[in-house]
Amino acid sequence: MSAGEPPVCPVVKDFLARQGIIAFAGLVFLGWTWVRVRRGLETRDVRTFAADTSKQAGQQAMGGAMMVVLGHKLAEDGFSPLAWYGALYPFEIVLTTGFTGVFRRLNEALALHISTEKPWLSWAQPLANVGQYGPGGRSDFRCSWYAAQLLQATLLIGLPARLCALGLVSASLLLLPSPLSPCHQLARAYFLSGWPCGVQAAAILYACPLLGDAVQFIVIDRLQAARGPAPGRRSLGSSRPSVMARVSHVLAPFSARRFSDGSPHDDELGRRILLTPSQPTSHDPSPDGSRAAAAAGPPDHRLP
């Protein structure tokens, strides 16, 4: 490289160093979560949170490795692998976040359909309850459920989401002219910035992902956290409303009706009478009804 040419910066060494720093930061974050659990500020226990975090860490590490490979491939036609990595990052992270939500819903819906139609296939049950690691709820943790969801998160959700995202970016580079391609222009800006390789690595691999990875972690963590039981999950209990709740919903519009003489209807009393499952009926054993008449009180002899 001559004195006037921009530096051709590698990416693999700094990328591996960044993964080590992220792993150390993850351990520190788990320690902070343990403190929050002890103080009652975190609803998930440390074991569940570590499982959720490890699934997403596997997804992000795989996505970063794929961008390193694609960056080296694109660098064969110009610029540096580090410049291409920095250009790919903002587009990959936005598209991947969107595709992650799509593939998570598809995976869960398909697994839920299989577990409902064929309940003897036990392997589909953990895949239908993403973020839940046992049939007994959040307090139940089974390693087999975690292993199944780890494979699901990396191979069935993370891998296709990143393939679609990087495929769209690569298609834009092939179809759009270089002046109209935002990814190409960003790689060109990084490459011609004149920054030393150390400064470029600090900006591309540390400074920019500091905000981007944090936002993506929060969004994907919400996408892949445990949800309430969906309708049709037989093994985890039915989520259908009770019969009395449905009756109350049907009768609600009628509670505001008024009598024809304009007097207000007793809503609370009427609701109690209508919604009571079974009301004991009074039976008067006396043949002339004297007991019922006595209970009703003396007759009203006032003239109208």
Which DSSP category does 277 fall into?
Answer: S
pLDDT of 225? 62
Residue ranges of the chain with per-residue pLDDT less than 70: 1-4, 25, 213-214, 216-217, 220-304
Contacts (Cβ under 8 Å, ≥6 apart) of 214:
none
Nearest CA to 71 out of 58, 79, 110, 124 is that of: 79
The pLDDT tens digits for 92-114 are 989 998 999 899 899 989 999 99
* pLDDT per residue as tens digits for the range 249-272: 444 544 444 444 444 444 444 444
pLDDT at residue number 266 = 45
The whole-number pLDDT of residue 232 equals 41
| Interatomic CA distance for residues 164 and 152, integer angstroms | 17
